[in-house]
């Protein structure tokens, strides 16, 4: 009887198995959960891609489907009566398209074009029988065609001959003046992808290590693109190589850090938000294809604050226009990069205090 009683009692050693089996059954996902997860995996990428594509097309078409300048800065040299006559013709034929600055001499007007204080200069001779258009080919063919069209009509209506002179031509490696835009676009895309992949692959990476990664990426990509586009590569950017490298490194760092911040703050919506701000709006307002004067009023202010526009103008200034926009670009791109990192640091400290653990900012390398 004693032996039989022992066989009826379950051994203690198998009880944990019963408990384990029970917990596995409890943790198994319900069919409805799996179905919901599948629907989410199908719908979310579809919607994100659709929204980003639609925004890209809508904003770029809004900006460039019929581009016309609004108050494009142009210099003029001539007597008071000649200037008034030209302005009157422009009010009739091209209202609001250019904004004149009167210069006392041809040299002053040419210097203004070469430093991009104005995009062109219209010179009227003393007797009014001949005129000359000074322009900068580095501003791109669209600007050149606009100026030639406007002032060709003005000269014709005055029965005057019109000559033209390119005082800031593009380099031999950039005949269309678009290489700066493409270089900037490539860096911005790389910075966005860096921030996106870094956030998704290592969401809990200590900030020090993430900054090390950001610095390595920005330095390597900025130097590589500068060498590729500059005099050592395609000769598309003829400016000082060190200055070009500085701008490109800061562009990559500004966009990369801003993407990291947006992903941190916005969570799953960060992918869409970062692409809208940094890629779509940034490149549409960069001034790489057309100057900001060609943009609609609601887009124009963004060219002065987003990293792409700041970097593109600085690169154009270093390469062709006597440093126009360089210092401002360096300062504001640094503000973008350091400001984004500072906010990330604050968020990390706040998260550490909430969870009662050590701050990831202080984690060792």
pLDDT in tens, 307-319: 999 999 999 999 9
Q: Which residue has the tokens 């198998």?
A: 14
pLDDT of residue 232: 86
- How far from 150 is each of 126, 153, 154, 157, 264, CA to CA, in Å? 21, 6, 7, 11, 49
Is the pLDDT assigned to residue 338 strictly greater than 80?
yes
CA dihedral (177, 116, 109, 76) positive or negative? positive
pLDDT in tens, 93-143: 889 999 999 999 999 999 999 999 999 999 999 999 999 999 999 999 999
Contact residues for 181 (Cβ-Cβ < 8 A; gap 6+): 283, 286, 288, 289, 312
Please provide the distance, in angstroms rounded to a whole number, between the alpha carbons at the two ends of the chain.
68
Six-digit token pair at 248?
Answer: 């490109």
pLDDT in tens, 58-102: 998 988 888 899 999 999 999 999 999 999 999 888 899 999 999
Contact residues for 232 (Cβ-Cβ < 8 A; gap 6+): 241
User: 134: exposed, middle or buried (C-beta count within 10 Å: 0-12, 13-18, 19+)?
Assistant: buried
Is the pLDDT assigned to residue 265 strictly greater than 60?
yes
pLDDT of residue 365: 34
Report the distance separating Cα 126 and Cα 81, nearest Å.
11
Is the pLDDT assigned to residue 192 strictly greater than 50?
yes
pLDDT of residue 254: 98
**pTM for the whole structure:** 0.84
């Amino acid at each position: 009887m004693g032996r039989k009683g022992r066989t009826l009692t379950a051994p203690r050693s198998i009880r944990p198995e019963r408990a384990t089996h029970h917990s596995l059954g409890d943790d198994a996902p319900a069919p409805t959960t799996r179905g919901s997860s599948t629907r989410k995996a199908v719908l979310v990428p579809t919607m994100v891609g659709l929204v980003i594509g639609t925004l890209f097309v809508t904003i770029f078409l809004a900006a460039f489907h019929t581009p016309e300048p609004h108050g494009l800065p142009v210099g003029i040299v001539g007597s008071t009566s000649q200037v008034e006559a030209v302005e009157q013709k422009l009010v009739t034929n091209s209202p609001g398209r250019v904004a004149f600055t009167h210069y006392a001499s041809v040299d002053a007007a040419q210097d203004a074009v070469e430093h991009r204080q104005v995009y062109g200069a219209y010179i009227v001779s003393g007797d009014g029988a001949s005129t000359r258009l000074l322009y900068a080919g580095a501003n791109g063919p669209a600007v050149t065609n606009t100026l030639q069209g406007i002032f060709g009509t003005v000269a014709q209506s005055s029965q005057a001959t019109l000559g033209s002179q390119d005082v800031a031509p593009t380099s031999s490696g950039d005949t269309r003046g678009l290489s700066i835009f493409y270089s900037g676009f490539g860096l911005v895309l790389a910075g966005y992808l860096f921030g996106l992949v870094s956030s998704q692959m290592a969401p809990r990476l200590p900030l020090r290590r993430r900054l090390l990664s950001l610095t390595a990426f920005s330095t390597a990509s900025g130097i590589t693109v500068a060498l590729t586009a500059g005099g050592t590569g395609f000769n598309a950017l003829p400016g000082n190589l060190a200055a070009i490298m500085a701008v490109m490194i800061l562009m990559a760092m500004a966009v990369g850090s801003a993407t990291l911040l947006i992903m941190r703050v916005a969570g799953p919506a960060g992918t869409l938000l970062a692409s809208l701000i940094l890629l779509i709006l940034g490149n549409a307002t960069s001034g790489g294809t057309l100057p900001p004067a060609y943009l609609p009023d609601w887009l124009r202010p963004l060219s002065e604050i987003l990293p792409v526009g700041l970097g593109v103008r600085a690169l154009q200034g270093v390469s062709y226009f006597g440093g126009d926009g360089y210092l401002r670009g360096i300062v504001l791109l640094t503000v973008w990069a350091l400001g984004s990192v500072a906010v990330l640091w604050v968020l990390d400290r706040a998260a550490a205090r909430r969870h009662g653990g050590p701050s990831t900012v202080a984690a060792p390398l």
